[in-house]
Amino acid sequence: MNFELSEEQLLIQGMVKEFVAAEVAPIAAEIDRNHRFPAELIPKLAELNLLGVPFPEELGGAGADNVSYIIVLEELARACASTSVIVSAHSSLCTWPIFAFGSDLQKKKYVTDLASGASLGAFALTEPGAGTDAAAGTTTAVLDGDSYVLNGTKTFITNGGFADVYIVTAMTDQAAGTKGISAFIIDKDLPGFTVGEREHKMGIRASSTTPLYFSNCRVPKDALLGQEGKGFKIAMMTLDGGRIGIAAQALGIAQGAIDASVAYAKERVQFGKPIARLQAIQWMIADMVTEVEAARLLVYQAAWRKDAGLSYTREAAIAKLFASEVATRVAGKAIQIHGGVGYTESYPVERAYRDAKICEIYEGTSEVQRMVIAGGALR
């Protein structure tokens, strides 16, 4: 059992740290304040192959492992959770299912561009009436000759409006429940496919979150991902991996909050000495560090199991549940350490607090993670 990062993983971590310091951190507050999607970062991320970290080089990726991938997401989130989730949704939720379930032709057509960063991806499962209960979706796909005709609405779609490729689930057999759901690869310019107005969110404001509308949208028959009726299984397996990504995002948010708190505690003077010398502050930081280190072990273990070809559904749920709730607690303590200024936009911890909460909600709420964990324990 080895808890040390490999030489390659350390090199990737160092590269991302430098990139974040030079390109991400300087704009993080501005893009959050203005709800601005950081389009200028996409080609820069692509240049460093950070949009295809865990995919093979022959398909445009970096050829690295999943532990390296979550290291990238963690380091991005330490400065900007929005940038981290842009990469996570692109890689975990769009590129991976095509890589895992797509035909050779689909992989060549889509994965190469997605992994290299020539295209940006998104994933569309949630609907206005089907969030946690994904099987309640009403978007339909009816086979008509050589095409499927899609009708319906998706909501809360990360990268919506900026993505070139969307993985979309729809009912091909409404009487079959979850076994009637299929998945499709949708190009952004198809007639009948439109993107709605961006949501104005509490956190991850620089991430574009939109509804998608399908009105008699004709999709080529060969856009079907995997087999008809297997869309729910594809979506659930995709979310297993995506949850490791969100756990890494939460981990990065929490670590960033610790970094800011330690720096502030050393420079803030009260009662004639830095507050870092006060036991109340020391104990808060000790608790924060302990929880984040525990979360890191869970997140890295889940990624390691995926690399090892072992089952990781349970471990991904545990990692996401714990890391996301830790992020909220740690960000809250960070504001407490900063006092009044922590409640202002002058310091990054208020943004960390707002960003952390969504990690307990998207890609499966904390309640869903507890259902998954309990289901495995009580089997």
Measured distance CA(302)–CA(337) in Å, rounded: 31
Minimal CA–CA distance to 123: which of 82, 153, 168, 91? 168
User: Which residues participate in catalysis according to the annotation?
Assistant: 363
pLDDT tens digits along 135-150? 889 999 999 999 999 9
- State the alpha helices, DSSP H only, in 80-191: 81-88, 96-101, 104-106, 112-116
Measured distance CA(194)–CA(211) in Å, rounded: 9
- pLDDT on residue 41: 98
- pLDDT on residue 53: 98
Alpha carbon dihedral 187, 191, 197, 199, in 10-degree steps, equals -40
- pLDDT on residue 324: 98
What average pLDDT score do residues 325-348 get? 98
What average pLDDT score do residues 110-127 get? 98
What is the rounded end-to-end Cα distance, in angstroms, of the chain?
A: 28
DSSP string, 277-318: GSHHHHHHHHHHHHHHHHHHHHHHHHHHHHHTT---HHHHHH
pLDDT tens digits along 265-316? 999 999 999 999 999 999 999 999 999 999 999 999 999 999 999 999 999 9
- State the alpha helices, DSSP H only, in the chain: 7-19, 25-33, 41-47, 66-79, 81-88, 96-101, 104-106, 112-116, 231-267, 279-307, 313-338, 349-357, 366-377
Measured distance CA(24)–CA(303) in Å, rounded: 24
244 to 66, 70, 241, 248: CA distances (angstroms): 9, 7, 5, 6
- pLDDT on residue 263: 98
DSSP string, 12-44: HHHHHHHHIIIIIHHHHHHHHHTT---TTHHHH
Q: Choose between 139 and 177: higher pLDDT.
A: 139
Domains of the chain: 7-119 (1.10.540.10), 122-230 (2.40.110.10), 233-377 (1.20.140.10)
Measured distance CA(68)–CA(80) in Å, rounded: 18
- pLDDT on residue 1: 77
pLDDT tens digits along 37-71? 999 999 999 999 999 999 999 999 999 999 999 99
SS3 of residue 124 by DSSP: strand
Residue 110, number of CB atoms within 10 A of its CB: 24
Length of the chain counted residue by residue: 379
Q: Which residues of 336-357 are buried (b: 16+ CB within 10 A; e: fewer)?
A: ebbeeebeeeebbbbbbbbbbb
Gyration radius of the chain's alpha carbons: 21
Find where tokens 């670590």 sit: 255
- pLDDT on residue 379: 86
In the numeric block, which tokens belong to residue 345? 């936009």
Measured distance CA(359)–CA(299) in Å, rounded: 14
